[in-house]
Amino acid sequence: MPALASGSSATSGSPPPNAAPARFARVALIGRHGDPGVIEPLDRIAGFLRARGHAVALDAETARFADARNVPVLSDAQLQGATDLAIVLGGDGTMLSVARALAPHGVPLIGVNLGRLGFLTDIPMAELEPTISAMLDGRYVEERRTLITATVHRRDGTQAEAPALNEVVVNRGGLGTMIECVVEIDGRFVYAMRADGVIVATPTGSTAYALSTGGPIIAPAVPAFALVPVAPHALTHRPIAVPDSATIAISVSRGHDAAVHCDGQAHFDLAEGERVTMRRAPHTARFLHPEQHDYFAMLRQKLHWSETPERLNPGGKGR
Handedness of CA 102, 161, 178, 210 (dihedral sign): negative
Which are the contacts of 311, defined by CB distance < 8 A and separation ≥ 6? none
- 92 carries an active-site annotation: yes
Asked if residue 165 lies in contact with residue 143, where contact means CB atoms within 8 angstroms, the answer is no
Q: How many residues does the chain have?
A: 319
Handedness of CA 45, 94, 64, 108 (dihedral sign): positive
Task: Please tell me which residue in 92, 122, 196, 244 is annotated as part of the active site.
Answer: 92
CA distances from 136 to 5, 7, 59 (A): 21, 18, 20
Distance separating alpha carbons of residues 260 and 269, to the nearest angstrom: 6
Distance separating alpha carbons of residues 162 and 30, to the nearest angstrom: 22
Amino acid found at 23: R
Closest CA to 110 of 122, 118, 94: 122
Neighbours of 317 (CB within 10 A): 6
Amino acid found at 59: D
Q: Give the burial class of 16: count Cβ atoms within 10 A of its Cβ; 0-12 exposed, 13-18 middle, 19 or more buried.
A: exposed
Give the HSE-up count for residue 296: Cα atoms under 13 Å, Cβ half-sphere. 2
Query: Annotated catalytic sites, by residue?
Result: 92
